[in-house]
Amino acid sequence: GNSVTQMEGPVTLSEEAFLTINCTYTATGYPSLFWYVQYPGEGLQLLLKATKADDKGSNKGFEATYRKETTSFHLEKGSVQVSDSAVYFCALSVRGATNKLIFGTGTLLAVQP
């Protein structure tokens, strides 16, 4: 079946540190891959996406590259800010009758000044 595995948190970093949140997936077919973010007190929102192998999604300084050979979609940012503190969810969708998103368990990121 389709599933997403992401690193457990919490991840605690100092401001301006480098961030990596690992995400790997298992999917039948050719999935699209996503990172969603949930800021404190807010609903989930799409951060970035990639729809085919070797695509790189990017937004707000975050990047993730769709790696088919390693079935991974790791989230990276070169210099985190306090405002990046949130829960990050990796997700996939396989085109088909439902197109529903399958989410990972989420990773809490806490950035300290």
Q: Of these, 64, 106, 109, 111, which contacts another protein (CB under 8 A)? A: 106
> Any idea what DSSP says for residue 72?
B
Q: Of these, 28, 29, 40, 42, which contacts another protein (CB under 8 A)? A: 42
Contact set for another protein, span 9-38 (CB under 8 A): 32, 34, 36
Q: Could you tell me what percentage of the chain is helix, strand and coil, using 3-state DSSP and rounding each to the nearest 5?
A: 5, 50, 45
Minimum separation from the CB atom of position 79 to another protein (A): 26
Distances in whole angstroms, Cα of residue 64 to Cα of each of 55, 73, 98 = 8, 6, 25
Please tell me the count of residues contacting another protein according to CB under 8 A: 25
Q: Is 69 in the site for another protein (CB under 8 A)?
A: no
> Any idea what DSSP says for residue 16?
T
Distance CA 75, CA 82 (A): 17
- Specify whether the CB–CB gap between 53 and 66 falls below 8 A: yes
Q: Of these, 24, 51, 65, 72, which contacts another protein (CB under 8 A)? A: 51
How many residues does this entry show for the chain? Answer: 113
Minimum separation from the CB atom of position 113 to another protein (A): 27
Footprint of another protein on this chain (CB under 8 A)? 32, 34, 36, 41-46, 49, 51, 89, 91, 93, 95, 97-106
